[in-house]
Amino acid sequence: MGKFLYLLFIKLYPVGAGIAAVFNGKARLWVQGRRDIFTTIKNKLAADKRSRIWVHCSSLGEFEQGRPLMEALKKTYPAYSIVLTFFSPSGYEHKKDYDGANHVFYMPIDAAKNAHHFYELVNPQLVVFIKYEFWFYYLQEAKKRNIPLLLVSGIFRKSQPFFQWYGGFHKQMLQCFTHLFVQTNEAQELLQSIDIKNASVSGDTRFDRVLEVALSFKPIEPIENFCAGKTVIVAGSTWLEDDEELDHYANIHPNYRFIIAPHNLGEERLKECGQLYKNSMRYSAYIEESDNDKLQTVNTLIIDNIGMLKRLYHYATVCYVGGAFGGDGVHNVLEAAVYSKPVVFGPVYEKFAEATELVELGGAFSVIDALELEDTLNTLLEDKAAYNDAAVKAGNYVKAKCGATGKVMEYIQEKRLLTN
């Protein structure tokens, strides 16, 4: 049953994407990116005669988890070429020029023929899948060819098919891995319950990544000028639901500074933010504005570019992370907590271990509506002892969780999966 549904999925998904591509830009990129993909791979790899490591990520979030490992591999094994693949356009389109990999491609849709062809072209000496990407034929092909296959920063929940009565097919995928590095003890115990014993708890490589970003922080001069001497709330990866909870607080605190970085930078979304935050200006307009009187009326910057958010949290007094007023849940809280700042978000966060643990420790706070958000912000901003306690707990949590990349690299070196 499991295999039938999987085969049906991989047959129908490209059809659905093709139909959606007519009116959806992301689907269009997904389809166009795979057009003549094997010719593209063949041509780009033709002149690269080095041995290769293949790293696969679903999307941008998984890339951030895989990035510390890719950079460690490149540094330790410079004679190898790193081939990075993405399933989603949101990963590929943002990172197709990433210089930490030698080649970046879309992953061809999973199929026996495609997997065979891909391995023939890439011929990897090591394969790394990040977090929870499981593609049956690609995994089977690695096992068939006796290529070391690792899962990094894996996370498992009891509700997943692997642990159900019908999960035999999915269990076959797990049996292909040489080793599974998982984030939590609970994940390891779940794997052991279905007789998958080649797993160990390494933690999450995202902790290594956010600490690296924080330690290499570079100032943003316009943001420094905007924030100078003020209490600052940085709200990252916000959706409309988040802004509707936060806008009143921003509008009644003209002496505070608010930096809003929407998750979606479409024109309609930016206009929504401009309407909600009454004393706001887009960042692109702010850096061009020369009228000081006009600038003095602005207490809210709406960030209309990609790539700045990780550094913006540095300037916060308190960080707000979006997503948790919607069904998908909170976005990356670690990017904020690493700067030793209290973190606030909405009520949907239970699926995210780091958010749950931060709340339990007292370094983060979940709120259910605008009134609770206001009370929480006021407490943190008016009670110095409460603020300092939360800030220290947030920063220490991230630092204590670092080291997953080193554990994976140690395994690769001890098992001699690659040679210098």
Radius of gyration of the chain, Cα coordinates, nearest whole angstrom: 23
pLDDT value of residue 45: 96
3-state SS, the chain, equals CHHHHHHHHHHHHHHHHHHHCCCCHHHHHHHHHCCCHHHHHHHHHCCCCCCEEEEEECCHHHHHHHHHHHHHHHHHCCCCEEEEEECCHHHHHHHCCCCCCCEEEECCCCCHHHHHHHHHHHCEEEEEEECCCCCHHHHHHHHHCCCCEEEEEECCCCCCHHHCCCCHHHHHHHCCCCEEEECCHHHHHHHHHCCCCCEEECCCHHHHHHHHHHHCCCCCHHHHHHHCCCCEEEEEEECHHHHHHHHHHHHCCCCCEEEEEECCCCHHHHHHHHHHCCCEEEHHHHCCCCCHHHHHCCCEEECCCCCCHHHHHHHCCEEEECCCCCCCCCCCCHHHHCCCCCEEECCCCCCCHHHHHHHHHCCEEECCCHHHHHHHHHHHHHCHHHHHHHHHHHHHHHHHHCCHHHHHHHHHHHCCCCCC
List average pLDDT for each run of 10 residues in the chain, which is 420 residues long: 85 89 89 94 95 95 93 96 96 93 96 97 98 94 98 93 92 97 95 96 94 94 95 97 97 97 94 96 93 90 93 98 93 97 97 93 98 98 98 97 96 92
Whole-angstrom Cα distance, residue 59 to residue 90? 6
pTM attached to this predicted model? 0.86
CATH 1.10.8.350 fits 2-203+403-414, yes or no: no
Q: Which pLDDT score, from 0 to 100, does residue 351 have?
A: 86
- Measured from the Cβ of residue 288, the count of other Cβ atoms closer than 10 Å reads 8
- pLDDT at residue number 414: 96
Residue 275 amino acid letter: Q
We find that the CATH architecture of domain 213-401 is: 3-Layer(aba) Sandwich (3.40)
Torsion, CA 85, CA 91, CA 93, CA 97, rounded to 10: -60
Name which of 120, 39, 134, 50 is nearest 87 in CA terms. Answer: 134
Domain limits, the chain = 2-203+403-414, 213-401
Q: In what order do the strands lie in the sheet with 179-182?
A: 103-106, 81-86, 52-57, 124-130, 149-154, 179-182, 199-201
Contacts 24+ apart (CB under 8 A), 331-335: 331/236, 331/237, 331/263, 332/61, 332/64, 332/206, 332/210, 332/237, 333/358, 333/364, 334/206, 334/207, 334/210, 334/398, 335/210, 335/213, 335/236, 335/309, 335/310
